[in-house]
Amino acid sequence: MGLFDKFKSQFIDIIEWVNPEPDILVHRFERYDNEIKMGARLIVRPGQRAVFVNEGRIADAFDPGTHKLSTKNMPIITTLLSLPYAFESPFKAEVYFIKTTEQLDRKWGTPNPVMLRDTDFGMVRLRARGNYSYKVGITEGMITRFVGTQGDFSCDRLEDQIRIKVVSSFTDCLGEHKIAALDLAAKYDEISGFMKEKLSSDFAELGLELLTFILENISVPDEVQKAMDQRSAMGAVGNLNNYSQYQAANALRDAAQNEGGAGNMMGMMMGAQMANGISGTLQQSSPGSAPPPLPKKTKYFVAVDGKQTGPFELPEVEVKIKSGEIARESLVWTEGMSNWEKAVSRMDLSGFFASVLPPLS
């Protein structure tokens, strides 16, 4: 060690992080040989926190303010240095400054489309993007897990890992809630709230506190967007029967205004026929028409010991066949039969006997 370096290390220090870069979350204070003299001034600015580390062990932490270092406000590092050694000044320790301000408008998005099974359009590919904000929470965990011996630790290195987790959680969210593609635009706030709750524990494991999470946009492929537009247009039209008649009337009006004699008259007649045909088709397929009656369920009466039992629906008959209550030769009757018949002779019952094991000989 040169004379100047030895002399330099004995000065009372001013320890501070003056010009923090925007993307740096953790900064290690650089000084000669890590020597700090008792009485040095530690300046922690608003939005910062200072942590002392001695031989890889987290020691004392300081909140914003100006601190004169002494054994009173450094109880942990004083104990660490006094046990194996006679505590002397200067002492060696690393000082890390933690940025505790909120990291705003951090972007996230799906690099590849997310596949979603949709009730209206089948399989749909979705893309999503948004932003979130966070701040460093558990500073000790941050230093121990990620900083190590590095001088500076930037948020970019963390956010690459965060984006992967966000996309994974977003895919799980859509799968769990099964939100239809047509309803996604109305669920942005609900999805954002669910994502914030789901990701908070993951951020805490990284030594961070998730403050906000916002879903900004979900986009679908062009073909799905066109299908959505067509559905919206159909909804805006309302009564398709009246609309088709209105369109046909406009066609007749336009044909009458054009010159062409018999040709125009033929066009008018064809337009009228088209309007009547469309009207009839729409009336037949109108959603308001009554549906056909539901088919009746088949019910069987069964003769057991010369007595009539039932009626039983097919699932009940199957259970009784498998349990042996109804045998192949048992007599059964249902509506439409002229007489009682053997159960095995009925087509809808014979298949049930195929799964019944024959008796041991």
Kindly indicate the confidence band of residue 318, based on its pLDDT and cuts at 50, 70 and 90. Answer: confident
Residues 6+ apart with CB under 8 A from 8: 32
Kindly indicate the confidence band of residue 197, based on its pLDDT and cuts at 50, 70 and 90. Answer: very high
- The predicted structure's pLDDT at residue 93: 79
State residue 226 phi and psi, 5-degree precision.
Answer: -65, -40
3-state secondary structure (DSSP) of residue 275: helix
Domain annotation for the chain: domains and CATH numbers? 3-99 (no CATH), 103-223 (3.30.479.30), 299-354 (3.30.1490)
Each residue's pLDDT tens digit, 290-304: 666 666 778 889 888
On the question of pLDDT at 215 being above 90, the answer is: yes
Tokens linked to 337: 């039969």
- The predicted structure's pLDDT at residue 60: 85
- The predicted structure's pLDDT at residue 149: 62
- Neighbour-count burial of 239, counting CB atoms closer than 10 A to its CB (0-12 exposed, 13-18 middle, 19+ buried): exposed
Task: Provide mean pLDDT across the span 206-213.
Answer: 90
Q: What is the CB neighbour count within 10 angstroms for residue 168?
A: 12
Kindly indicate the confidence band of residue 86, based on its pLDDT and cuts at 50, 70 and 90. Answer: very low
Task: Provide mean pLDDT across the span 145-156.
Answer: 74
Measured distance CA(336)–CA(298) in Å, rounded: 10
Residues 6+ apart with CB under 8 A from 177: 187, 191, 194
Q: Please confirm whether the linkage preceding 291 is cis (ω < 30° from 0).
A: no
Measured distance CA(339)–CA(129) in Å, rounded: 70
Taking only Cα atoms into account, the Rg of the chain, rounded to an integer number of angstroms, comes to: 40
* H/E stretch holding 25: strand 24-28
Ordered DSSP codes for 145-194: IIITT-SEEEHHHHHHHHHHHHHHHHHHHHHHHT--GGGGGGGHHHHHHH
C-beta of residue 100 within 8 angstroms of C-beta of residue 155 = no
CA angle 345, 349, 354 (to 5 degrees): 95
Measured distance CA(212)–CA(52) in Å, rounded: 30
Give the closest residue to 249 by CA, choosing from 291, 278, 226, 285: 278
Give the closest residue to 180 by CA, choosing from 223, 246, 224, 145: 224
Task: Provide mean pLDDT across the span 165-185.
Answer: 85
Each residue's pLDDT tens digit, 275-295: 555 555 545 544 555 666 666
Each residue's pLDDT tens digit, 216-239: 998 877 776 676 666 656 555 555
On the question of pLDDT at 9 being above 50, the answer is: no
- The predicted structure's pLDDT at residue 245: 66
> In the chain, where does DSSP find H-type helix?
3-8, 75-82, 139-142, 155-177, 188-205, 222-237, 240-257, 262-284, 314-323, 347-354
On the question of pLDDT at 329 being above 50, the answer is: yes
- Tokens 């192949």 label which residue? 328
Each residue's pLDDT tens digit, 38-83: 788 999 999 898 888 877 777 888 999 999 888 777 777 777 666 5
Residue type, 244: S
CA 20 to chain centre: 35
Lowest mean pLDDT segment, chosen from 148-162, 167-181, 309-323: 148-162
Average pLDDT, the chain: 76
The verdict on pTM exceeding 0.85 is: no
State residue 22 phi and psi, 5-degree precision.
Answer: -60, -35
Give the closest residue to 130 by CA, choosing from 190, 220, 215, 195: 215
Measured distance CA(235)–CA(239) in Å, rounded: 9
3-state secondary structure (DSSP) of residue 81: helix
Ordered DSSP codes for 93-157: -EEEEEE-S-EEEEEEE-SSPEEEEETTTEEEEEEEEEEEEEEE--HHHHIIIIITT-SEEEHHH
Q: Of residues 30 and 166, which shows the higher confidence score?
A: 166
Lowest mean pLDDT segment, chosen from 110-114, 287-291, 346-350: 287-291
- The predicted structure's pLDDT at residue 236: 54
- The predicted structure's pLDDT at residue 200: 92
- The predicted structure's pLDDT at residue 4: 46
- The predicted structure's pLDDT at residue 228: 61
